[in-house]
Every structure is written in C-alpha cells, then in structure tokens.
A and B are shown apart, each in its own frame.
Chain A
C-alpha cells in the first residue's frame, strides 16, 4: 500500500503527514508514506484544496486535516 500526502508545505499538510504516520502504525498495516510537494504532481491528481490524501493512486480526501482515527478507517476500508 502506498499513501501519499499532497501539500505545498502549509502547516496543515505537515500535520496530516504526522497523523498519517501514526495512523499507519496503529492500523498495523505495511504502508509506504510519501509527501508530494511538487505542484504539478498535485495538479495531476485534480486536487485543488490541500492537504490531500491519496491511497494507491486514489484521492480519498481533500482540503481537510483528518484525525488519526479517520485515517485508520480509510486505510482499513481500502
């Protein structure tokens, strides 16, 4: 599983990255986490409100700082 955090470096984007790391640890799944800061790559996902969360190439959330519990749910639902 590959999880990407889309964000140009705003405070919320960093917070989402932290929350995602914790969520992956809690979920017990093996996932690769990558922060995407390149604006063109973010645009390719069609995301306009950052931060965005992408799991295996699919956009699951935009413009929101998700809580750890919410990310765990997203990971499990995947």
Chain B
C-alpha cells in the first residue's frame, strides 16, 4: 500500500473512532444527567438522616451514583450531612462514591469497555465506598472537623421543586454540551495517544510493567492515578489500549478508580473544614481500598 493511502486509512480510522466515541458519550452523559435531575442531594439528606450506620453506608454509596456531584460543592454537602446528624462514616461513604461514579467516568467506561466492565467498576467502587466509610466511622474522628456544625433542630425537609419535563430535557442537554466542551480535547488526545501505543509500543513492554509478572503493578497504577483527576476522559482510551496489550483488568480498574475517587483539588477544598489528619485517613483508606480491589480482581480472573 502506498504511504499516502496508509495515512489516509489511519486518519479515517481516527475520525471514525472519535465520532463514534463522542456520539456515545453525548448520549450516555445526557441520559445520566436527565435521570439525575430527579434526585437532589437535599432529598438524599432527608432520607439518610433517618437511617443508622451500615444501612446508611450502603444507601449513601448507592445515592452517590445517582446524585449529581461536583468537587466545588463538597464542603456544603459535607457540612449539610453532618448538620442533619448523619454519622461521619456514612457521610464519607457518600463522599467516596459520588466522584467515583461521576457521569464522565461511567460514560467513558460504557463507551470504551462495554457494560460488563462498567458494572464491575461501579460494583467494586460501591464496595470501596461502603467499607471505606465504615472504617473511617470506626476511628471516632468527629473532633477532626474544624468547623462547629450546629445540628438542625426538629424535622429536616427538602423543598419539592416541580420542574417540567421539557425544562429537564433542555437543562440536561445544556449540561451535556458543557461537559463535552470540557472533555472533547482530552478524548481526542487520548484516542490519538492510544493509536500511537497500539501501533508502536510493543506488547511485551506493557506486559512486563502492567501485566501479571509485576506484583507491584496495582499499587503503582493506583499511586499514578491519584494526581490525574481531571483527565479521566483522556486516560480511559489509553487504558483500553493498555488492557488490550496485556495490562491486567484489576490493575486497570485500580488506575481508573484512583483517577476519579481521589483528587487533589478536592483535598484542598476539604482542608477548610477538616484537619489534615482526617483528609489523610480519608485518602489513605480509599487508596488501600482501591489497591485491594485491584489485587482481588487480578486474583479472581
């Protein structure tokens, strides 16, 4: 095949792939956002305030999937939960689950890996959130909260906003466009870099680092993932290529979870309301949980 034809072939593939990914992403993010417009954190708070530990941890982790979350509202959310006398451990179950199950990560997983891996990711993510919350609750760290939270007296209620379906649709669409604007470039770069690895990096090289031969692959992947918070959209296409070239799925899951669950900006924000010790325990517990998931998964398969 002449060189020009090869290049146009690769270009075709690249364009086809990106269009497909962006189309799927748009559809999935739109669907998740629309669904989420029916659940508000205020309503979740009322619901959780009536539960005890354990049940509370499980429910909080589940609610983390379906409620909208952005790291900029982590503080009002944290304090709001405590105000409603929701135990610290239950609050953390939610704080771990919400960013882990964000719409971009779920949409990317569904697009690149299919529903099985997405379900595994959500399932193991829930496990980390539930167990992590229970563990943090056991430490008795209430004194590590830097702001005095006055509990709400009496019955807590949430305003019931009646929103027309048409409004929900248009709001979900605006939000989807907003997200796409933020991530499309990362997706392009990710797919491009993935194509490069696919073509040029030998499989043996990746297997030796991220395959079954390296016992430290999981913790290494987790630690690498922690600082990569905002680029989940760009990293997922890379991981897809890496797994096809011998990276173990458990290692890949740990990497993806570390990217989404723990973010440095969130830690900076939380520093205003909780001590470094509490943030350290929070991050430490989640990191250990994610590493555990990676090993467990690699051992099972």
Contacts and interface: CB of A to CB of B under 8 A. Distances in A.
Contacts of B225: none
B230 interface: no
B41 interface: yes
A17 B76 CA distance: 19
Given A43-B76, A49-B68, A64 B42 contact: no
Interface in B59-87: 68, 70, 72-73, 75-77, 79-80, 83
A40 interface: yes
Interface in A18-67: 39-40, 42-43, 46-50, 59, 62-64
Interface string B14-46: 000000000000000000000000001110010
Contacts of B147: 39-40
A48 B42 contact: yes
Contact of B80 (A10, A43, A59): A43
Interface string B137-161: 0000000000101001000100100
A43 B83 contact: yes
A21 B68 CA distance: 27
A62 B70 CA distance: 13
B171 A62 contact: no
A35 B147 CA distance: 21
Interface of B: 40-42, 45, 68, 70, 72-73, 75-77, 79-80, 83, 147, 149, 152, 156, 159, 171, 272-273
